[in-house]
Amino acid sequence: MRQRGFFMLLAAVVLLVAAGFALRGYITDDTYIHLRYAENLLHHGEFSFNPGEHSYGATSPLWIFGLALLLVAGVAPLSAPFVLGALSALLTVVVAWVLLRRMDLPASWRAVTLLLITCDVWFLRWSFSGMETPLATALLLVLLVPVVQEGGLAPGARGQHLAWGAAAGLAGLVRPEFMLIAPLAWPWLAWAGRKGRRASGWLLDGLAAAVGWALVVGPWLGFAWWSFGRLTPGTAAAKSAALTLAPTVVLGYVKQAVAVLAVTQGAVWLGVVAVVIIAVAAAVRRGGHAAGRFSRAEVALIGAVLTWSAALTAGYALKQVWIISRYICPLAPGLLLVAALVARRAEGSLGAASRRLPRGVLGVAVAAAVLANGWVFTRQVMPHARDFPAGVRECYVGMGRWLHDNTPPDAVIAALDIGAVGYVSGRRVMDLMGLVSPEVLAVGQDLGFQEMVSSGAWLEIPARPTGGPPDYFIDRSEGPPRWAGRTVHGVSFELLDTCQIHGVGLREPQTWTVALYRLLGPATRTRPSAGG
């Protein structure tokens, strides 16, 4: 049995390595943002994108600290995000394997569940993109270890509760929403650990977990408030809107989250529902129970995962966050564990002679899910992972190099996509999405970012302490360059270069024009190119 479990893990690791090879070279523009923060942390001792300007423009402090450690260890800057992502993905797979080995499931079910967790197309895509998603996924699974291995958090074991709270705090340093979401699993794990005992001691156990959480998160929140005057990153404000309770709006965002998960495991859940229906129908005929009895620990695991899922989805919907796959896919492994438990208990309630149909249904569902993930990976993710980084290198890296070689060190560049441009050019960037430029964030929230950019209102925001607009501008739009030859608020746009990026995301596959402009006018510091 031990050898079979080892081969199950080995097969998952081989799949992970194959995906990493297929996605080699994949990098997002946001990855460059993390890299610049990491390098400024090492070289200047500050948490900043623009040196000398403390800013909370990166979502994941823990990811930046991890990149900084790899850079100190001698890993090449552009290799560090890939290495950290691969290690985090490996941790996810290993923790999932550890959980499955302790769950009350047949060996074949464990192997299939680990296969589904590993071949999840969003998990694979973001694991090798240089983003923090696989680390967030791994830490959520780590939080489930006590309920699977020990049956829950033991009452009175304050050290265990303290450690669990610290782990929940680490999850919050990877994704800011997890500061609130991750601790929601604690009541379930504490309840499971009591195993029917009296309710005394809850308060002290909860206090121990809260102290562990605060020991990890507290120093960062204190630093953030002192340095940035805020507790949440600029990304949280720039990528969300006002709180809404409008049912149609909320439902629309919930559908986005469900759609992300449905791509990778929708077929599995249809199969699980079908098996539950078969079990219920059989129970009605014989007058018995529709499912095998769940253990206390299994109820807690299911409750924790569903609580996370409901809270995260509701939070995104209420704040009108445009949901992309990396925001929601850390929930996927936990949901697959729940699916396996529910299906197994439903199937187990049937007599041996009646299990052929539900097993066949589950087999078809698993095959459909694997094929769906494989299709999306080969037909959508791999082409995007090939074309988009090529566009980033040609456009943003290329323009960044030109700016590095042809502009003074104190030049200011306004840009919509700041990562590669800022990292390669080494110049101060005025972020027109407001992530690292608080003054832009305030105007963008007031006018709307699209209106602020298209109207040229950003030109009236001082680009430097002495005032005046930026010196250069890198725009991204559909169609021909939209600013060429225009004069807005007394500033003229001289087109210097253009190139194209094919798709900035799977839901935005259109071709984008990236244009570099020199900004000219009485208040600017630049001069026209020679010859006009």
pLDDT per position as a tens digit, 428-465: 999 999 889 888 988 988 888 889 999 999 999 998 88
Nearest to 40 by CA among 429, 346, 344: 429
Which residue reads 């988009």 in tokens? 388
Name the percent of the chain lying above pLDDT 90: 76
How many angstroms separate the CA atoms of 293 and 311, rounded? 27
The pLDDT score that the predictor gives to residue 74 is 96
Does pLDDT of 360 surpass 90?
A: yes
Q: Residue 240 to residues 28, 245, 323: CA-CA distances in angstroms?
A: 21, 14, 10
The pLDDT score that the predictor gives to residue 243 is 83
Once rounded to an integer, what is the mean pLDDT over residues 458-482? 91
Contacts 24+ apart (CB under 8 A), 210-213: 210/165, 210/183, 211/162, 211/165, 212/161, 212/162, 212/163, 212/164, 212/165, 212/166, 212/167, 212/168, 212/169, 213/165, 213/166, 213/168, 213/169, 213/172, 213/183
Nearest to 231 by CA among 241, 221, 240: 221
Q: Which residues of 272-285 are buried (b: 16+ CB within 10 A; e: fewer)?
A: bbbbbebbeebbee
How many angstroms separate the CA atoms of 525 and 216, rounded? 46
How many angstroms separate the CA atoms of 112 and 30, rounded? 34
Half-sphere exposure of 264 (CA within 13 A, CB side): 28
pLDDT tens per residue, range 283-301: 777 766 555 689 999 999 9
pLDDT tens per residue, range 330-357: 999 999 999 999 999 998 877 776 788 8
Which DSSP letter does residue 381 get?
I
Once rounded to an integer, what is the mean pLDDT over residues 388-396? 94
Which residue reads 């699993």 in tokens? 185
- Main-chain dihedrals φ then ψ at residue 156, nearest 5 degrees: 85, -10
Contact 154, 115 (CB under 8 A): no
How many angstroms separate the CA atoms of 230 and 436, rounded? 13
Sheet holding 428-431, edge to edge: 428-431, 412-415, 472-477, 511-520, 491-502, 487-488
pLDDT tens per residue, range 150-194: 999 999 899 999 999 999 999 999 999 999 999 999 999 999 998
Contact 514, 476 (CB under 8 A): yes
Q: How does residue 532 score in pLDDT terms, banded at 50, 70 and 90?
A: very low
Residues 6+ apart with CB under 8 A from 292: 344, 345, 346, 348, 349
pTM score over 0.85: yes
Contact 520, 528 (CB under 8 A): yes
Handedness of CA 302, 305, 309, 311 (dihedral sign): positive
Contact 290, 279 (CB under 8 A): yes
How many angstroms separate the CA atoms of 76 and 52, rounded? 24
Q: How does residue 199 score in pLDDT terms, banded at 50, 70 and 90?
A: low
Does pLDDT of 259 surpass 50?
A: yes
Could you tell me the end-to-end alpha-carbon distance of the chain, in angstroms, rounded to an integer? 77
Residues 6+ apart with CB under 8 A from 120: 264, 265, 329, 332, 333, 373
- Of 82-96, 113-127, 130-144, 495-509, minimum mean pLDDT range: 495-509
pLDDT tens per residue, range 311-327: 999 999 998 988 899 99
pLDDT tens per residue, range 126-147: 999 999 999 999 999 999 999 9
Does pLDDT of 531 surpass 50?
A: no
Does pLDDT of 523 surpass 80?
A: no
Does pLDDT of 52 surpass 50?
A: yes
Residues 6+ apart with CB under 8 A from 62: 132, 135, 170, 173, 174
The pLDDT score that the predictor gives to residue 527 is 63
* Arithmetic mean of pLDDT over the chain: 91
The pLDDT score that the predictor gives to residue 133 is 97
The pLDDT score that the predictor gives to residue 385 is 93
